[in-house]
């Protein structure tokens, strides 16, 4: 049983979703207090004899008892849902009402409803993701600030803004509501961003980033397992995450440095995740929808199924990037397309493709834009130009791992050795 981080976070999220439904979203902070009390007491008790086998059920039972006490204590001081208000006035109806609120069928959709609630259209995407991290993944403000390399105060502000909007909504999002479909797209987007933060994000802590990916996978799985949410796009989002996450173990080498795709030890990729991802990708092909997630999942699938870098089907990848650019025009997508073109047609063509990107200046602060130029110049044999680009990228690096990776590239150029000879397709 894993007793640190994830266990606590998972239980916190589950209890919070349930108690928020029980007390009503306007009493969110009350729900949070009760969750903290419940967990604190359990951790203290379990320090002596160990964590009991049915700890989840015990925690929920303990939360239920606390909820009973809260209703008794606060029934006159606080406003609860109108339907509940008269039931909690009398001890005769209070207990059965609360018992019912904690029965398995009532608990079933809490986390999903919370997820949809956090993806509120009045909230900026970054606020939605921060809320999901806090409410559904159980990350504290300090942890979230470490994820974004932001100040605690900034994250606090972001989350409290989110909670205000959440608290103003009447109740947790109803999964049968009319605006289910648009809300589902917002959820996709938020989970996609959550995953990307783990996969490409700025945080230096590999452990915390792997956890972000795991959490995103878990939440995507919740969507897949809930029939109305299991749309073709949902399968595509999940496939994308599985196929990318499968390659996570290969992304850092023994000393935790980032390794470029072509240097990765593919035997370290997670075969089970790849298999699951490919199955999800297949399911995403039902229906006629072709979302940006389908295309990205397709690209991820191409990489994950190439047993050697040289075997990658670059032609098809370029084709998928072409389509992706139409659905989601962005300089980052265009940059990735240019790198695929470089694989297919040679580095000079790749450099031409980069020059042709409109809005490339928006990537000025993105270390991997300069690094991409460096890679291609190096492959063209112009190591001086390459070195300058890598140096520029190094100056932009956002964390230690990126710095180490880029510093190594600068050195490779200085030595004049074509460090990436294997990058050219055979």
Partner 1 sequence: MSQFVFLYREARTPSPQELESRMAKCLVWFKDLEKNGHLAYYGHPLNRTDGGVVRDAKGTVTDGPYAETKDIVIGFSLIEAKDFDQAVKLAAACPLVAGGCLIEVRPVLKL
Least separation, in Å, of the C-beta of 226 and partner 1? 29
End-to-end CA distance of the chain: 47
Enumerate residues 6+ apart whose C-beta is below 8 A from 328: 292
When the beta carbons of 136 and 339 are compared against partner 1, the nearer one is: 136
Least separation, in Å, of the C-beta of 142 and partner 1? 9
When the beta carbons of 137 and 413 are compared against partner 1, the nearer one is: 137
Residue 415 structure tokens: 């030595």
| Binding positions for partner 1, rule: CB under 8 A | 3-4, 7-8, 36, 39-40, 43-51, 140
Least separation, in Å, of the C-beta of 140 and partner 1? 7
Q: How many CA atoms lie within 13 A of 6 on its CB side?
A: 12
> Position of tokens 């063209």?
380
When the beta carbons of 14 and 409 are compared against partner 1, the nearer one is: 14
When the beta carbons of 1 and 227 are compared against partner 1, the nearer one is: 1
Q: How far apart are CA 293 and CA 241, in angstroms?
A: 10
Q: How far apart are CA 129 and CA 183, in angstroms?
A: 14
* Number of helices followed by number of strands (H, E) in the chain: 22, 0
When the beta carbons of 41 and 79 are compared against partner 1, the nearer one is: 41
Q: Where are the alpha helices (DSSP H) in 206-291?
A: 206-224, 232-245, 248-251, 271-284
Least separation, in Å, of the C-beta of 138 and partner 1? 10
Least separation, in Å, of the C-beta of 10 and partner 1? 12
Least separation, in Å, of the C-beta of 152 and partner 1? 15
What's the helix, strand, coil split of the chain in %, to 5? Answer: 75, 0, 25
With vertex at residue 334, the alpha carbon angle to CA 329 and CA 338, rounded to the nearest 5 degrees, is 160
Q: How far apart are CA 350 and CA 326, in angstroms?
A: 19
DSSP state of 79: -
When the beta carbons of 46 and 262 are compared against partner 1, the nearer one is: 46
When the beta carbons of 7 and 366 are compared against partner 1, the nearer one is: 7
When the beta carbons of 12 and 188 are compared against partner 1, the nearer one is: 12
Least separation, in Å, of the C-beta of 205 and partner 1? 16
Least separation, in Å, of the C-beta of 38 and partner 1? 9
Q: How far apart are CA 337 and CA 372, in angstroms?
A: 11
Whole-angstrom Cα Rg for the chain: 24
């Amino acid at each position: 049983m894993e007793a640190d981080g994830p266990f606590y976070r998972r239980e916190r999220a589950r209890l919070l979703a349930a108690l928020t439904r029980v007390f009503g979203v306007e009493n969110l902070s009350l729900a949070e207090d009760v969750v903290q009390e419940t967990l604190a007491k359990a951790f203290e008790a379990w320090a002596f004899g160990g964590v009991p086998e049915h700890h989840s059920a015990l925690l929920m039972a303990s939360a239920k008892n606390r909820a009973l006490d809260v209703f008794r204590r606060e029934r006159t001081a606080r406003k609860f849902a109108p339907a509940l208000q008269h039931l909690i006035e009398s001890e005769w109806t209070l207990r059965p009402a609360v018992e019912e609120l904690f029965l398995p069928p009532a608990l079933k959709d809490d986390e999903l409803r919370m997820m949809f609630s956090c993806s509120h259209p009045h909230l900026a995407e970054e606020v939605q993701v921060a809320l999901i991290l806090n409410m559904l993944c159980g990350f504290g403000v300090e942890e979230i600030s470490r994820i974004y390399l932001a100040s605690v105060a900034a994250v606090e502000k972001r989350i409290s803004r989110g909670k205000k909007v959440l608290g103003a909504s009447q109740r947790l999002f109803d999964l049968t509501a009319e605006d289910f479909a648009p809300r589902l797209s917002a959820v996709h987007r938020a989970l996609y961003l959550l995953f990307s933060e783990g996969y490409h994000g700025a945080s230096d802590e590999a452990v915390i980033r792997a956890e972000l990916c795991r959490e995103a996978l878990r939440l995507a799985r919740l969507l897949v397992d809930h029939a109305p949410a299991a749309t073709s796009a949902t399968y595509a989002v999940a496939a994308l995450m599985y196929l990318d996450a499968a390659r996570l173990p290969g992304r850092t080498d023994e000393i935790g440095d980032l390794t470029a795709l072509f240097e990765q030890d593919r035997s370290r990729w997670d075969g089970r995740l790849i298999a699951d991802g490919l199955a999800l990708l297949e399911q995403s092909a039902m229906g006629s929808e072709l979302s940006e997630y389908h295309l990205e999942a397709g690209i991820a699938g191409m990489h994950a199924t190439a047993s050697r870098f040289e075997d990658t089907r670059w032609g098809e990848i370029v084709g998928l990037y072409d389509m992706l650019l139409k659905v989601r025009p962005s300089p980052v997508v265009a940059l990735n397309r240019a790198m695929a073109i470089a694989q297919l047609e040679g580095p000079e063509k790749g450099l031409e493709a980069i020059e042709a990107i409109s809005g490339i200046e928006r990537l000025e602060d993105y270390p991997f834009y300069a690094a991409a130029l460096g890679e291609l110049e190096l492959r063209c044999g112009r190591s001086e130009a390459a070195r300058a680009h890598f140096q520029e990228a190094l100056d932009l690096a956002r964390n230690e791992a990126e710095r180490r990776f880029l510093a190594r590239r600068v050195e490779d150029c200085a030595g004049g050795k074509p460090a990436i000879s294997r990058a050219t397709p055979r």
